[in-house]
Amino acid sequence: MTHNKQLTDVLMPQLAESLVSATIGKWLKQPGDRIEQYEPICEVITDKVNAEIPATVDGIMGEHVAEEGQTIAVGQIICKIVVESSNESTVVNAPIHTESLATTASTSEGQSMRSRYSPAVQSLAAEHQLNLNDIKGTGMGGRITRKDVLAHVDNLSSGNGDTKSSSQALEHVSATSPFKGMTHTNPAVTPAQYVENASSTERNSGMHLTETPQIPNNNIQAQQGRSETLIDITPVRNTIATRMRQSVSEIPHAWTMIEVDVTNLVLLRNKLKDEFKRNEGYNLTYLAFLLKAVVNAIKDYPIMNSVWAVDKIIVKRDINIALAVGTEDTVMTPVIQRADQKNIAGLAREIEELATKTRQGKLKLDDMQGGTFTVNNTGSFGSVLSYPIINYPQAAILTFESIVKKPVVINDMIAVRSMANLCLSLDHRILDGVICGRFLQRVKENLEGYTLDTKLY
């Protein structure tokens, strides 16, 4: 039996049910590069998220059919991969980069690949907090493959492997951490996340800033002889621009605001936050309480959970809350599916997971589908008033502004209370001032109704 080269077509996959095309963002493998199965070969950009397309076979990159920046329909060929074939009849006589292949083959033979890790292997090792030196490679030259890492993970989870990795993880917990020496209650949380951020401060507004504000790095290159700087529009920025233009041009926006006394909420959250983080491994934020209040208000006023459909208004049955999560250069709106079926602790978990995935660029298309009402926590960066643009085609969007201590008149006496603004933009084709005013009043009642006896579970 003889071995020959065969070209295998790689097609644009159906990444989501509603997806019909995607744009090639960046090729991660060039012609002549060796590829392992499941190793990412390119980044693609959809109108919702970025994703990586993995190789379906082992082989060598043959040629790129699609170029970077080109939009390809689902099912069309994006590249060809050269694979070994034992069937002589399947040989395809196609132009491939034989020089590159020969170079790759000659340099790989007899050379130890033990210390060379693919991006897929590195990503898996980081995800499971593994030391790659502890894993035996079965690939060419002792190289560690994705299968080796997964087998090692299975071995550890079954109790047959050593516990070195987990022990090392515990050792990284700070000596000042309240979790030092404790078994992780949430294996999905890294030890670093258990450590309180020493630089975090509590502002007078009552909101926590858990991250040091970052200065955006735009990698702007000076251009000789020009008095301005030109920045190329990325596909994601172009999508945001298109969606925002569509929203403001098609939806007649109106806007309203209400002020809420959240003093009891601040006391409740301060009472529970430390124990909650100790038990669950992530922060209990004000946003979880707000989402619960909004969801319960939508139950009373379901028209808020609707879309405009030319000749009818469609009221959605499921309440899927989209969260606006910003990064340095973009904003995403991952969705909490069926938020009406979750308690405050469940909403806090969803917020943590979606925000983390957004900032790490790990959102999948399923995370972005089906939003029916959007909430934006603009107060997290100190805003006290904002005019949000509706997340098309939803009927409304609500922002939760910063909590600020203010003098308030109660029973003809002045008291210092923790106050916050709620701002609502509405589609005036669907909603009017009366229904939105009542909705905001119900959210206000729900927020002010929290007491020290409120249960999280």
Active site residues: 428, 432
Where do the H-state alpha helices sit in 172-221? 191-194
Distance CA 165, CA 22 (A): 39
Phi/psi-derived region of residue 319, left when phi > 0, alpha when psi is between -120 and 50, beta in every other case? beta
Distance CA 426, CA 405 (A): 28
Distance CA 134, CA 449 (A): 54
Distance CA 454, CA 330 (A): 36
- The interaxial angle of helices 263-280 and 344-359, nearest 10 deg, is 70
Write phi, then psi, for 441 (nearest 5 degrees).
Answer: -60, -40
**Residue 216 preceded by cis peptide, ω within 30:** no
243: Cβ contacts below 8 Å, ≥ 6 apart: 47, 392
Distance CA 413, CA 160 (A): 68
The DSSP element (H or E) to which 60 belongs, if any, is strand 59-64
CA dihedral 199, 202, 203, 209 (to 10 degrees): 60
Q: Which amino acid is at 323?
A: L
Give me the count of residues in the chain.
457
Token pair, residue 5, equals 């080269």
442: Cβ contacts below 8 Å, ≥ 6 apart: 296, 297, 300, 301
Query: Which candidate, 384, 405, 396, 400, places its Cα nearest to that of 432?
Result: 396
CB atoms within 10 A of CB 88: 10
Cβ burial of 241 (10 Å; 0-12, 13-18, 19+) is exposed
Token pair, residue 43, equals 């980044």
- Give the SS3 label for residue 445: helix
383: Cβ contacts below 8 Å, ≥ 6 apart: 399, 401, 402
Write phi, then psi, for 314 (nearest 5 degrees).
Answer: -100, 115
